[in-house]
Amino acid sequence: MDEVIRASGLVKRFDDRTALSGLDLSVDRGALYGLVGPNGAGKTTLIRILCGLLAPDEGSAQVLGWKVPSFRVRSQVGYMPQGIALYADLTVRQNLAFFGELYDLPRRTLGERIDEVLSLVQLLDRADQPVGGLAGGMQRRVSLALSLLHKPQLLFLDEPTVGVDPRMRHTFWEHFEALADQDVTLLVTTHIIDEASHCRTIGFLNQGKLLTQGTPDEILERTGADSLEGAYAALETMEAA
Amino acid sequence: MKTWIIAKNVLRRIAHDPRTLVLIALTPLLFILLYGYSFTSGHPTHLRLIVVNHDNGLASVRTEAAGRVTLSLSLGDQLVSALDPRTFDVIHETDPAAAQAAVKAGRAWAALVLAKNFSQGMVDSVLSTTGRRVFPYEGRTITVLPPEQTETGFARLDLDDSNPSVSEAILSALKTAFSGLLPQEQNKETPTASPLVVTPLYGGGTVSLLDYTAPGVIGFAMTLITIMLTAISIVRERTTGTLPRILVAPVHSFEVTLGHTLAFALISILQVAELFVVSYLLFHIRFLGSPLVVALIVAVYAIVLQGIATLLSTLARNEFQAMQFILVILIPSIMISGVFWPIEAIPQHIRFLCYASPLTYANLALREVMLRGRGIAGIGLELGALGGLAIVTLGLGIAFLHRQGRSG
């Protein structure tokens, strides 16, 4: 297994707040990696650094073998931000077509590819509706479809299931697992520990530091807890001590 | 009534935004200071006037007692010394043709040519209007009779009349200088006919205030619309998260900036075309030059505005801040770019500020083409300045957007 993400000693400060304090991370190809932590733990900051949107104050990160920020990796990376980040006044199809062109997808197959990703998020029938007119959960689904459009090797999904109904959430996770089976690497952030159990590898993040990482079973065994929630609480207490 | 609760919340949000607070405090101050300082005189000053003084200083007159005598008056020199130094920056020239060419080329506002017989002509002109007069002559006074015939054309003024307030200021200051030429006690009655033969370069009084202000107002409208549209659009892209999403895609920062520039420059050009067509058809504004040259000025200025708007959008964290920044740019534009009152009427110690405003160059270039009918060669300086500003502002805009994309 080769390493797709490698971060060492990442530090990021915002005014008087430290979002990341010397974080190390390693994610292998084909991993479905869940980054779990409470609000403000540093999950989004880490993803923004790995996407090249933020520069770390200290430390460095490599994505797909390139030190970030790197223009070379952009076409191979998909990013679903926490916000909707779509043009509300454009239709679903227009949004996808615009980003498809930015990712250099061939024009003749772009329409087909848009239909494919919209079918996946079950929004094909809404393709010609303005995004602003869709319910919040549907907008999240369009956002996910957009991040999958160019078939990236690596997907950064920042709280992808927030506001999505339970049935669709289940479909999302099924699809994430299918992608990982196809050797796509997924780094998914969530603050809902239950959801993290879908991930094959989990990293617990607190106050900008990685408390531990491993498979759910490894973490349970390591902490002696009977649930991931319990494991997180135990690790947090140990860290505070 | 929950009005106060709502109002308190609005004020609290503003109070939490130091950048907006500073802008709220500074914007009115900037407005009134610039207005006050730039409009102090309201009178054009330091206008370039080329003087060609060929006056021999002599006037041959008929007298009752001594027949014909020659007076040595040097009225040409007196006139030049009487020119108001605040109104005029006098440049001396010996060749009338060179002086006229300089005015035509826009290097001076007017050329005053005093012929060899200027003193003679002035004396004859005054005498023919006022009858016999007493003049000092060899330590005594003599009564001089009106001339048998008078000459004209001894004082000529080639005037650039493309700017009504400047023309008015020049003519008024010259009138004052002429009226002070002959001894006070003999000059109680002002000559009814001015001895100055004025040759207006651009139709003489056909350049109305509307013609004069139209290029600047169109430029200002363009500044207002373009900066607002572009800056708000980019800030919205950032606050809604679409800009970071674009910056994660394989797109360079300069492509993002140039993409916005291209789109809004096209919109800007269409809007300006609309302004020109309506002004021309409905208000018959003066338009002597080539529409293609005007289109070139508008296109280059549109790029400058895109650069400024991109810079502003990177400084503003939200639409509200962007609006405040826009005001900070727009207020100086209208105050010190010569839109409503000429740059020449702005006090000299703050006149350098006028040349920091891109609208000044757009306004000057548009006026040259529209009012004077000049081509590209006649607006090289203004177009060069706009081109330079376009490169600098757009370059900075791209750099700032790139930096911001990497710093959150």
Note the pLDDT tens digit of each residue in B55-93: 998 888 888 777 888 888 889 999 999 999 999 999 999
Chain-wide mean pLDDT for chain A?
A: 92
What's the rounded Cα separation, in Å, for the pair A145 and A161? 13
Alpha-carbon gap: B319 to the closest alpha carbon of chain A (Å): 16
Q: How far is CA A170 from CA A161, A167, A228, in A?
A: 9, 5, 19
- What residues contact B13, with CB distance under 8 A and at least 6 apart? none
pLDDT at B407 over 60: no
Domain assignment present for B27:
no
- The mean per-residue pLDDT over the stretch A88-114 comes to 94
Alpha-carbon gap: A150 to the closest alpha carbon of chain B (Å): 10
- Say if residue B81 is in the same domain as residue B187: yes
Residue of B nearest to A146 (CA): B245
The confidence band for B191, taking pLDDT boundaries of 50, 70 and 90, is: very low
Q: Is B67 on the interface with A (CB under 8 A)?
A: no
Residue of A nearest to B236 (CA): A87
Pairing of strands B58-63, B88-92: unpaired
- Say if residue B242 is in the same domain as residue B164: no
The confidence score (pLDDT) of residue B192 equals 43
pLDDT at A34 over 50: yes
* CATH number, residue B165: 3.40.1710
Q: Which of the pair, B188 or A64, is modelled with greater confidence?
A: A64
Q: Which of the pair, A152 or A169, is modelled with greater confidence?
A: A152
- The mean per-residue pLDDT over the stretch A17-35 comes to 94
The confidence band for B318, taking pLDDT boundaries of 50, 70 and 90, is: confident
Q: How much is the CA Rg of chain B, to the nearest whole Å? A: 29
The confidence score (pLDDT) of residue B184 equals 47
Given the structure tokens 């109070």, which residue do they identify?
B15
- The mean per-residue pLDDT over the stretch B3-8 comes to 78
The confidence score (pLDDT) of residue B39 equals 64
The confidence score (pLDDT) of residue B262 equals 86
- Say if residue B218 is in the same domain as residue B324: yes
For chain A, which residues lie within 8 Å of any Cβ of chain B, measuring from their own Cβ? 48, 51-55, 69, 71, 74-75, 77, 79, 81, 83-88, 99, 102-104, 146
**Is B249–A83 a contact, with Cβ atoms under 8 angstroms apart?**
no
Q: Is B18 on the interface with A (CB under 8 A)?
A: no
The confidence score (pLDDT) of residue B344 equals 84
> What is the complex's ipTM, to 2 decimals?
0.92
pLDDT at B100 over 90: yes
* Per-residue pLDDT tens over the stretch B376-400: 998 999 999 999 999 999 899 888 8
Q: In which domain, by residue range, is B55 found? A: 47-200
The confidence band for A188, taking pLDDT boundaries of 50, 70 and 90, is: very high
Q: Which of B244, B249, B407 sits opposite A99 (nearest CB)?
A: B249
- Say if residue B252 is in the same domain as residue B188: no
pTM over 0.95: no
* Per-residue pLDDT tens over the stretch A102-131: 999 998 899 999 999 999 999 999 999 999
- Say if residue B325 is in the same domain as residue B190: no
- The mean per-residue pLDDT over the stretch A60-72 comes to 92
Q: What percent of chain B has pLDDT over 90?
A: 32
Q: What residue spans of A33-106 are helical by DSSP H? A: 43-51, 92-102
Q: How many domains does chain B have?
A: 2
Domain assignment present for B12:
no
- Say if residue B148 is in the same domain as residue B233: no
Q: Which of A75, A85, A104 sits opposite B242 (nearest CB)?
A: A85
Alpha-carbon gap: A205 to the closest alpha carbon of chain B (Å): 21
Report chain B residues whose CB lies below 8 A from the CB of A84: 240-241
> Chain-centre distance of CA B398, in angstroms?
32
Q: What is the CATH number of domain A3-240?
A: 3.40.50.300
- Sheet with B47-53, side-by-side order of all strands: B88-92, B47-53, B110-114, B155-159, B196-200
- Say if residue B156 is in the same domain as residue B107: yes
- For residue B180, what are its two tokens? 């002070």
pLDDT at B41 over 80: no
Collapse the DSSP code of B384 into the 3-class scheme (helix H, G, I; strand E, B; otherwise coil) and give the result. helix
- Say if residue B156 is in the same domain as residue B222: no
Q: Which of the pair, B132 or A51, is modelled with greater confidence?
A: A51
Q: Which of B149, B182, B200 is the last residue of a domain?
A: B200
- The mean per-residue pLDDT over the stretch B312-331 comes to 85
Q: How much is the CA Rg of chain A, to the nearest whole Å? A: 18
Domain assignment present for B38:
no
Q: Is B152 on the interface with A (CB under 8 A)?
A: no
pLDDT at A56 over 90: yes
**Is B240–A51 a contact, with Cβ atoms under 8 angstroms apart?**
no
- Say if residue B325 is in the same domain as residue B224: yes
- Say if residue B212 is in the same domain as residue B195: no
Question: Nearest Cα to A163, choosing from A137, A198, A183?
Answer: A137
Q: Which of B146, B177, B200 is the last residue of a domain?
A: B200
**Is B249–A51 a contact, with Cβ atoms under 8 angstroms apart?**
no
* Per-residue pLDDT tens over the stretch B209-235: 888 889 999 999 899 888 888 888 888
The confidence score (pLDDT) of residue B405 equals 60
- Say if residue B135 is in the same domain as residue B185: yes
Q: Which of B136, B168, B200 is the last residue of a domain?
A: B200
The confidence score (pLDDT) of residue B88 equals 94
| DSSP per-residue letters across B317-361 | SSHHHHHHHHHHHHHHHHHHSSSSS-GGGS-GGGHHHHTT-HHHH
